[in-house]
Structure 1
Amino acid sequence: MTRSEIARVQEYLRITFANPRIVVKPPKKQGQPVEVYCADEFIGVLHRDEDEGEVSYDLHMSILDLDLPPDPSDARGL
């Protein structure tokens, strides 16, 4: 992805999620994925896809179970 594309996607994400702390970082080396952060927290990778002349950008975000808040049903012994 070009730096221009990265900047445009970053602006889109900031507006869409109403969060100016979202940062899309270009890869340090050729061939590495573009990384997305919220402040200093890594949240996912961004991929560019082109099919029949149409370009799209895919954000892949993994959420670890241990990062989730406690399940309220577990507190009640269910």
Structure 2
Amino acid sequence: MDKKDMQRVESYLRRTFGNATIRVVPRARKTDSAEVYIGEESIGLISEDKEDGETSYDFHMAILDIDLED
């Protein structure tokens, strides 16, 4: 995932979720994915999938049961 694609995905996530603090950051030693942050907290991963001449991006976010406690 190159820098231009990360910026495009970041803009999309910010618009979609109405949150200007979302950041898409490259991962060390990984070129097919990037980390997604809100502020300083990592919330998930974006993976790039190139197949049959098309590119898609998958967002994966794990939610721990302790995060659901009030």
TM-score by length of 1: 0.81
Specify which structure has the higher proportion of strand: 2
Q: 1:51 maps to what in 2?
A: 51
Q: Report which of the two structures shows the higher radius of gyration computed on alpha carbons.
A: 1
Provide, for residues 29-63 of structure 1, a one-character-per-residue CA deviation record: whole Å limited to 9, x for no partner. 34474100010111001100011111100011000
Q: How many residues align?
A: 70
After TM superposition, give the deviation of residue 28 of structure 1 in Å: 2.7
- List runs of 5+ in structure 1 lacking aligned partners: 71-78
Q: 1:25 maps to what in 2?
A: 25
Distance in 2 of aligned mates of 1:55 and 1:15 = 20
Distance in 2 of aligned mates of 1:51 and 1:33 = 15
RCO (CA 8 Å, sep 6+): is it higher in 1 or 2? 2
TM-score by length of 2: 0.90
- List runs of 5+ in structure 2 lacking aligned partners: none
Distance in 2 of aligned mates of 1:31 and 1:12 = 20
Distance in 2 of aligned mates of 1:27 and 1:51 = 22
Structure 1 consecutive aligned stretches of length 4 or more whose deviation exceeds 4 Å: none
